[in-house]
Structure 1
Amino acid sequence: MIGGAFPLVRPFLHRLDPEAAHQLTIRSLAMAPALTPARDDARLSVAAMGLSFPNPVGLAAGYDKQCEVPDQLLALGFGFVELGGVTPRPQPGNPRPRVFRLAADGAVINRFGLNSDGLSRCRERLRRRKGRPGIVGVNLGANKDSADRIADYATLVAGLCGLADFLTINVSSPNTPGLRDLQGEAFLDALLARAVEARDRADEAAGTRTRLLLKIAPDLALDALDAMTATATTRGLDGLIVSNTTIARPDTLREAALGAETGGLSGRPLFSLSTRMLAQARLRVGEAMPLIGVGGVDCAEAAWTKIEAGASLVQLYTALIYEGPGLIPSIKEGILARLTAEGLDGLAPVVGRRAAEIAQG
């Protein structure tokens, strides 16, 4: 499954139901040794959130939902991985089928609905890897039937502090009814206040420092983005992830029939929308808060554009389904080529330099 083997197995995987194929890849990774990845070129290193990332290319949440194979994923060459989403109590998510490949568009639609093994089991898996190298984050979500979703996030933060380098408050999944309502200013302020309080208390007790991030939707109106970035800044969050999947359906979709499926759209069709939102966020937070750009990263050029729009780090997932793990070194090599061409020793001068232009679309 690794590197050059992927083109040989891709036809087999893509004949399977997408969810079955994904489960097979997780099982395959679980049987692989967690090797130490090759050392990255120093020009790819990124200092953000008080952490030193070996390279800016990360794995987005949703791939390793149950926190089963973080070290095997890091061994593929990612600079960091984000696990989950994890919910307080186990829940099955939505009925199958709930994920669809739009191959002609390089896209996926999913409506998983935060299927999770729950906090207890995911916490135990993370506890077993404590002390191992590599930057690992966990995406957090509320239970679908929760009577107090703000309490759900506080419970998750308290339960996972010290076991991950960062925790992501995900209020932007389109597949849990009512979850995006928590992006409203009053709800979000109350949520972040509880989450920060839970983090500070847990970190003080454990002697750790856990970063808190917020993941936002690409479909926000700009006044809503104003409120969210202001609230995140006021509450002292460590970063923003821009963005989640979209409920929009671009007119350019070639897989029109599959495009009608309910759920969040990811992959190449999300790139322009998510990158504009990223640039808009950069204009609002300036250099005070690092941003992680996600949505449609499928090549070095896409990653470079995200960085120019304001991302200190980028994440990908959907492109792995079509390109395989060889995409990771390809993106890193492409970024290095751009740095060499411009005579730069690192990415810091690139971050956000075209934000104003890209924000206008």
Structure 2
Amino acid sequence: MNRRLGISIYPEHSTMDKDKEYVDLAHKYGFERIFMCMLSVEKPKDEIRREFSEIIGYAKERGFEVILDIAPNIFDKLGISYDDLSFFNELGASGIRLDLGFDGAKEAMLSFNKYGMKIEINMSNDVAYIDNIMTYKPNTPFIYGCHNFYPQKGTALPYDFFVKCSQRFKKYGVRTAAFINSQTAEIGPWNINDGLCTLEDHRSLPVEVQAKHLFATGLIDDVIIGNAYASEEELERLSKVNRYQVELAVELVDNVSDVEKTIIFDEQHYRRGDITHEVVRSTEVRKKYGKYDIKNHDNDVIFKRGDVLIGNNDFGKYKGELQIALRACGDNRKNLVGRVREEEKILLDFIEPWSKFIFEEYKKGSKS
């Protein structure tokens, strides 16, 4: 399934011009979906229809899929029914997200709506909700799953719980989404906004690291910035994230040679299938670079987790092999050539037997 990036828009807390400007900026960097909040609308129905249809139409003209986040109270306010989605179709929405669920049969029936709208359901509960929906034979391609975001610091999901919730959906091949947190944005649905992320561990991380982590789990297809408005710099950094394999940002040591740089950055790496707990081994590269002169440097040290190593001239048949240290170790037949960015060491857990991975250069003090 293709993986996408998304943004969030809160029409009740922003202006049309600013929303359109944000949509254009996200479009420039290849974003493809929009989470649009209707949870806190207070205006008259006709005004809501006019404003939402204008911004949704503007976004769809630029290729965005737009999902409206709704709750039961919205139907009461607008005098509409779940049995008739014509109002949301008039707005131009691609789908609706049900903040609260029904009995499973209702969601399944809604997925066959005549407008072809997606029905997105809440993923952030470790219960048999999606299993129940599936027993009622829904129109599965029109069922999406999306985690919650959590505006209050300390209230977002722990990672192990997130995994259990997400696995319930992925086993059915349902398209899944989760939220990350801009470090510059200030707009959300409520008057408390400590960031809008799904995972608590992400709250203070750079946006691109959050996205890398979610994609690396293999459990999330769409990564959405929960708060608005993310900066252009953040959008650009996200646009460069590799969505399909782990790409580690590595800070090089001063003495790294040109051949070592080539090994690091110009080759497709993968971890050997017969793994060790001490290092990740990329062994194919030594067949190509074992004939090169790889002088000893930065080798008489204790390597730490996340250190990138390359076998030097003293390593015989293993010269040119690239490794990533997973625990403290030492071997002067290996050169320390770089260090994985501190925030990205969480990605090392996703380099499993036969996993593919690559590197990008990171310069300390930069944001990407």
TM-score range, shorter chain: 0.3 to 0.5
Give the alignment's TM-score, normalised by structure 2: 0.43
* Greater RCO, CA 8 A, separation 6+: 1
Give the structure with higher Rg (CA). Answer: 2
More strand by share: 2
More helix by share: 1
Give the alignment's TM-score, normalised by structure 1: 0.43
